[in-house]
Each structure stands twice: as structure tokens, then as C-alpha cells.
Structure 1
Amino acid sequence: MSTASWPPVRALTAAAACAASLLAVCGPAVADGPNGIDDLRGARSAPNENLLDGHGVQFLPRPGLSEPPRISALSWMVTDLGSHRVLAARDAHRPLPPASTLKTLFALTVLPKFAQGEVRTVSSADLAGIAAGSSLAGIKEDMPYRVADLWHGVFLSSGSDAVHALAAMNGGWGKTIDDMQATADRLGARDTTVESADGFDTPGQFSSAYDLSLFGQAGLTNRDFANLAATKRAWLPEDGGADAYGIQNTNRLLVGSHGVAPYDGLIGVKNGYTSHAGNTLVAAARRGGRTLLVTVMNPRSGTGNAVYEEARALLDWGFEAAPRAVGVGVLPAPAPERRAPGTERAAHPAPLTAVRQASAARPAGDRGDVLLWSFSAAGVVALAGMGTALWWRRRQPVGPEGGGPEVRGPEDEGRES
């Protein structure tokens, strides 16, 4: 190496040293207690196997983080939908009868196929085969209903008559069950076996807290689903008239009824009950830019409102724990749905890239620090490079003998000099 090459080497070395020193000083500080909010030495690391496959309560403790409330439900799960982290769960994959919470899967399957303004005149054949004891919305034969009316009957009244009418539009009861099973398989809901489109007790029909959480998460990415799940009251038919009547959502945590106070920030999703399944509930709530999804299956306490109060306790814990909790699993982000031509498109958030997912999994208060540190680091390196280039240029003699500024052709455009 000639001696002429040493000055730039020394300059670049000095610049790199300065940049490294500044990066060390400007790096993100560890704060918030002895371990810091990013320092997981005080918490157990998640093993390679999926904790959600285990039995009992799954939760990774951290200093200063309270444990989930002890509730009586056979199975439950708490998910932060922003990062898809499962914060805690109990027997998440335990197969249990889902009751009317299975109507979330019915909606995911059939809702995209028909425009909300499409009209269906309900026939006696449409309403044939409704099981005795099923909840009904009051759909009448030989009466025209908009598709939106029928969906109000599904979501608010949990009406099997509305489900049957929509299933008839979809090609029949059997085809709809097959379509629902295909949707469950596509979403990765491995615990779900569909035998009845409306969730009524049927031998061999099961789902799980994990699968119902998948359905709730996917549904909330669909604008029509989200609006219906959050609707408290409606007219059936919505256009009114002599035969119209009001219906109210049976989700007590949403509307506040039967001694249950409404939950602040609740945005749906669906409740259910049968004598075999007991009470089931998928509930989502949004506070301060964070959305949590809780699924509760079959509380054993014996009180009539247990499913709502236990969901409330889990939501309260989740909002407190989410900024610091280590996830015990991840709920896969839903793929964009496929809608039939001519139906109104639903709004879907852009899927998270791997980088955004990693950022979302971090506690919210840390992401701004990381971005600020990253931009600061880039600025330091850029300034060091510019200073070195200017210093070296001034050191060179101008002219052919001194190797002055080179002449660049078109192929060199954009290259740093």
C-alpha cells in the first residue's frame, strides 16, 4: 500500500471510532426497574414448544406483573390483537361445545358472499329443520328481508331462523356446514369440527378457546362483521313498517342488562349458551389504542352472569398486563378474505411485515426509543462519512498530475464522490 492511501484510512478509522463511541452513548437505555422493560433476565424464557398446547393456566411471570385472575371457566384465552401475542390462557386447545359463538365462523364463511342490500324473500323451506329450543329472531315466511336484516338477526338475537335463511342463500344447510369446515381449516382452527351451522348442540361438534379467538380476530378485520358485532339495537326489518320490531343484542357485557354493567370500550363479538355447552363468550375491547380479545368457555361457578364477569376480569387484567407481559404464544394474523364478485369490499388492515411484527411485540413505550436511536445512529454515520470525504478532497492537489476530481460519465450518476 502506498503512503498516499494512509491519510484516508486514518481518517476513516477515526470517524468510525467516533461513530462507535456516539452509538454507544446514544443507544437505548435500560430503565423501568432493576431488569428494565426490555431486560427479560427476570422472566422465564418461552421454551421452543408452544405453551398453548399445555394443560392448565399458561402464563410467564415477570417482576411487578400480577398473575391472571383465577376464574372458573374450563377454558379461556387473552390475546393482544395489535401484536397477536397470547398473554395468558387456560387449556386453550381443549375441545368443548361452542354454542352460538360458532356463529362467528358462520359469519366469516357466508358474510362475504352477499351484499348487505340484497333482498331475500324467506320461504318455508328456508326455515325447515330448526331444532326445538333454538333461539329465534322472529323471521317470517313469505316476507322480504335485506341481507343486513338477516345478519342483525344472527348477531343480535342469535337467531337460528336467520342462520337458516342465509344458509339457504348459500346453497343449503349441508353445503354451509362444509364451507364452514373449510374456512376453519384455512384459518388453522385444528380443534373445530362443524356439525351444525348455528352452533346448536350436535353430537361431534367441538371448538376451543384458541379457535374461537381465531374466528373473532378474523371477523374484526371485516368491516361488516365488526359493525354487526358492535351493534346494540336494531329494527327488524330495518326499514320499519307495520311488521317491524326492535331487537337488542343479547351480549350483556356490550349493552348492560340482567345485572351486568356494560364494559367500557367493548366492541363485540358474540355470546352463546346451550344446556350442554354452558355459557360461552368471545369479547373484544379497545382502550388507549390497544385491542384485546378474550374467549371464555363454560364457567363452573354456577352464577348466571359468570361468563360476563369472568371476561371482565380477564380484560381488566389484560389491559394492565399487556405493556409488560411476555406472550405464551402467538395467534397467526388472518389472511385477507376472498369475497364474491359484486359484494361490497370489507376493510382489511395491511398485514404486518416481519419487522413490524417484531416491533409490535415490544412494549409500546419502547418502540419510539428504538426508532429515535436508529435515526440518530444513521445521522452520526452519515456526518462522519461526509466529514471524511471533505477532508480528503481538500488534501488532494488539483490537476492531471495530482489526480484531481475524476470525470464521471452517465453510468456514475448517483455515486458518492
Structure 2
Amino acid sequence: MAAMPAAAAAPEAVGVAPMPEISAPIALLLDVGSGRVLYARDAHRRFVPASITKIMTSYVAFDLISKGKLRLDQRIPIRPETYRAWRRVGSTMFLPSDAQPTVAELIEGIVTVSANDACVVLAEGATGSVPAFTGLMNAAAADLGMRDSHFNTPNGWMDQGQTYVTAADLATLSGALMTRFPDLYRRFYGHSQMTWNGITQPNHNPLYGFTQGADGVKTGFTNEAGYGFVGSAERNGRRLVMVLGGYDRPKDRTGQSRDFIEWGFGAWNAQQLFGKGAQVGVAEVQGGAERSVQLVAPRQLTVTAPAGRKVSYTLAVRYKGPLKAPITKGETVASLLVRVPGEPVHVLPLVAGAAVPKGGALARLRNGALSTVGL
């Protein structure tokens, strides 16, 4: 997933409908399919995320699950010291001292009711300690190109500013969460409430029940951070992600976030370039059982323009070639460069359409012979 380009705010684009009032000091609206920034205000300014941190917590958990290092049905007992430290601290699942919740239950608590206790229990159960887990969080941030973010805690609890993010980095993270782990994202995100151990709690996402297609992502609040929100909605294959940070009042966050994302869908249109799974190109492979691999779109890829306007563009595929085996199916191995006159180049991910294992001696001999004759 390429990092979000540093683009200007969208209202300068000719022909765009006036946007609603957004009083948050930090604001960003991104069309994920095209990578186009529809609006930005201080998108690269560092701020304290509070519970928005839990997006990265779920990302790391999903990654461990996808690699077989963590199981959804795995039970994790709560340590006595963890129970004492996090009992009824902020938002919780109200985990009892003898609890042994499953990984799936902990993730549901983290994502749906912002459970601080569940974050620490999951971190300790998955990696042995909170520092080990936050190490994975920071490694993931580096891998995603989140250059202005750092995580010191899995739940975003106040830590004198040691945990910080930017709106641009959060948009990158959210897009990667949805693209790389679509099944897990659909399973755990988008729930309006959660019942566990006889206790029902609501999700405070202001889009749920009001915005068509809303399915994420995470609210956050502490006295240190104010009221923040990363929100997402998908309509007809088109996904928008917004980041709002630093509100003083929750009602402003609620009303303005709903208006903001509706403006994104209404004032802008998306022209499809490639549907999800479509072949975009072919890349050469070195040292593999096959000499090439198809490059496919991991999601719908689009170009975005003000409503009612067609866009001219050029496309190019870029990768560091030849690719080296082994290659995993679905692995991001190339980029689609979309050039629209007057805009920064939009860089969209392309993934391997099939796995390419390392080739044996015969495969290497065959490939070498074919290369010698120019085939």
C-alpha cells in the first residue's frame, strides 16, 4: 500500500460542490480506490490518537492470524496484574479476574466497544508482553510507510504523547487493513453493539445507523486528545475513508463526520480503471517455478473527479524487476501509476495473481535456456 501523497485540499478543484463546515483542526477525506485526497487540513500534523490506536492493534492481530501465529478460537487467560491495572479503566469489556476469552472475543471487544482491558490481554497473550506487541505495531507502521506515527501502547491510553499519528498515516493504515484482510475486516468491523458475558454495550461510531454503507472504523477520546474519528463507508465498490482529529465536543464530531462523507460521495465521482481481481499487467520472475506472474487489482481501482466531469489520464505499471521467487498470491509486488494532468501521481497497489514458488534445478535450467534465446 503506497503512502498517501501530500495533496492540497479539494475545494480548490474546479467544479466541486461546496463542502460542509468542518471545524476539526485536523481533517482528511480520501477516495481509497483512486488514492485521491478529496480534502486535507494538516494531514501530516502529528496528534495523539487515543482509542484510534486500536486500528493498528487490530491490524497486527489480523496479520498474526493470517500467518497462523494466532487463532481466533485460542483462549487467553487474563493475568492477575493485568486485571488489577485495567479493571474499569476507560472503556472495557468488564473482563472478570478468571476470564479466558477467545482471540475472536477480544478483537470484537477492541473494535466494537473500544475495550482497553482486551487490548492488553490480547497483546500479552499474542506476544508475551505489551512491549513486544507494540514492537510489532511499530514494525507494521514502518512497513506501511507510516513515517510520522509511533505506538507505545496497544489501547491508546494517555502516555504523555509517546503514541502519536497523523491523518495521512491513519488513512494509509485503514486502507491496508481493509485491503489486506478483507474477510477479517468484514467479520469484526461494522457492528453497532456487542454483548459479552451478559453485558451489552453500543459502538459509538457516529456513522452507524445514519450513513449508507458505513462499516468502520474507530472513534477516540481522552482529555489529552479530544474527540477524534476515523470513518469509512463503501457504496457500489467505492470506498471513502475520513480522519477527523481534535474536536472539543462529540456532537460536532457526530454531525460534521456524517456531512463530510456524504459530500465525498455526492460531490465526487469515480471512474473505474480495473475491477477487483482484474489483470493489469505481467511481471517477470527470477528463480521461480514460473517465469512470470500476473499483476492484478486487489480492489476496485478508479480515478476520481468532480461530479459530472470526465478525466483524462495515463497509466503505467512499475515494479522492481525481475521479481524474485518465492512470491505469495495476493502479495503486493507492483504499483499502478495514474497520472492526471495538474495532480500528483496516484500510486495504487497491484498484487500477485498466483503464488510462484522457488524453482528447482530443472526449472532454473529451462528458464536460463529460454532467456538465452530471448524467450
Q: Same fold (TM over 0.5)?
A: yes
The answer to whether residue 26 in structure 2 is matched with residue 78 in structure 1 is no
Deviates more, 1:282-291 or 1:124-133: 124-133
The answer to whether residue 167 in structure 2 is matched with residue 209 in structure 1 is yes
TM superposition outliers: structure 1 runs of 4+ over 4 Å:
362-370
1:176 to 129, 133, 140: 133
Give the TM-score, by structure 2 length. Answer: 0.66
Question: Any stretches of 5+ residues in structure 1 without a counterpart?
Answer: 1-49, 237-242, 256-261, 326-349, 371-417
1:105-144 correspondence runs (5 A): 105-113=56-64, 114-127=70-83, 129-130=85-86, 133-144=89-100
The answer to whether residue 297 in structure 2 is matched with residue 352 in structure 1 is yes
1:227 to 187, 193, 213: 187
CA contact (8 A) 2:11 2:19 kept: no
CA contact (8 A) 1:219 1:226 kept: no
CA contact (8 A) 1:101 1:272 kept: yes
Q: Letter of the 1:225 partner, please give it.
A: Y
| Cα 1:169–1:252 shift into 2, 3 Å | same
Give the TM-score, by structure 1 length. Answer: 0.60
Partner of 1:280: 228
Q: Letter of the 2:19 partner, please give it.
A: P
Question: Any stretches of 5+ residues in structure 2 without a counterpart?
Answer: 65-69, 272-294, 314-375
How far has the Cα of 1:100 moved from its partner? 0.4
Q: Letter of the 2:205 partner, please give it.
A: N
Q: 1:192-229: CA deviations, max 9, x gaps?
A: 12122211121232111111111211122222133312
The answer to whether residue 269 in structure 2 is matched with residue 323 in structure 1 is yes
Structure with the bigger percentage of helix: 1
- SS across alignment from 2:269: coil
CA distance in 1 between partners of 2:19 and 2:270 (Å): 13
Structure with the bigger percentage of strand: 2
The answer to whether residue 245 in structure 2 is matched with residue 245 in structure 1 is no
The answer to whether residue 258 in structure 2 is matched with residue 295 in structure 1 is no
CA distance in 1 between partners of 2:25 and 2:87 (Å): 26
Partner of 2:253: 307
Q: Letter of the 1:147 partner, please give it.
A: V
Q: Letter of the 1:211 partner, please give it.
A: D
Q: Letter of the 1:352 partner, please give it.
A: A
Q: Letter of the 2:225 partner, please give it.
A: A
| Cα 1:362–1:244 shift into 2, 3 Å | closer
Q: Letter of the 1:319 partner, please give it.
A: F
| Cα 1:324–1:226 shift into 2, 3 Å | closer
CA distance in 1 between partners of 2:312 and 2:145 (Å): 35
Q: 1:236-280: CA deviations, max 9, x gaps?
A: 1xxxxxx4332321223215xxxxxx2222111111100010011
1:254-273 correspondence runs (5 A): 254-255=208-209, 262-273=210-221
- SS across alignment from 1:122: coil
> How many equivalent residue pairs?
275
Q: Which has the larger radius of gyration?
A: 1
Q: Letter of the 1:231 partner, please give it.
A: H
How far has the Cα of 1:289 moved from its partner? 3.1
CA contact (8 A) 1:226 1:268 kept: no
How far has the Cα of 1:51 moved from its partner? 4.0
| Cα 1:173–1:324 shift into 2, 3 Å | closer
Q: 1:161-209: CA deviations, max 9, x gaps?
A: 1001101112211111111111111111111121222111212321111
1:197 to 154, 164, 170: 154
CA contact (8 A) 1:127 1:164 kept: no
CA contact (8 A) 1:101 1:199 kept: yes
Deviates more, 1:220-229 or 1:171-180: 220-229
Q: 1:23-59: CA deviations, max 9, x gaps?
A: xxxxxxxxxxxxxxxxxxxxxxxxxxx544xxxx722
CA contact (8 A) 1:80 1:293 kept: yes
CA-atom RMSD, angstroms?
2.9
CA distance in 1 between partners of 2:76 and 2:231 (Å): 30
CA distance in 1 between partners of 2:84 and 2:133 (Å): 15
- SS across alignment from 1:263: coil
- SS across alignment from 2:207: helix
CA contact (8 A) 2:113 2:193 kept: no
1:33-72 correspondence runs (5 A): 51-52=6-7, 58-59=9-10, 61-72=12-23
Q: Letter of the 2:192 partner, please give it.
A: K
CA contact (8 A) 1:284 1:292 kept: yes
| Cα 1:104–1:61 shift into 2, 3 Å | same
Q: Letter of the 2:31 partner, please give it.
A: D
Partner of 1:408: none
- SS across alignment from 1:153: helix
Q: Percent identity at matched positions?
A: 25
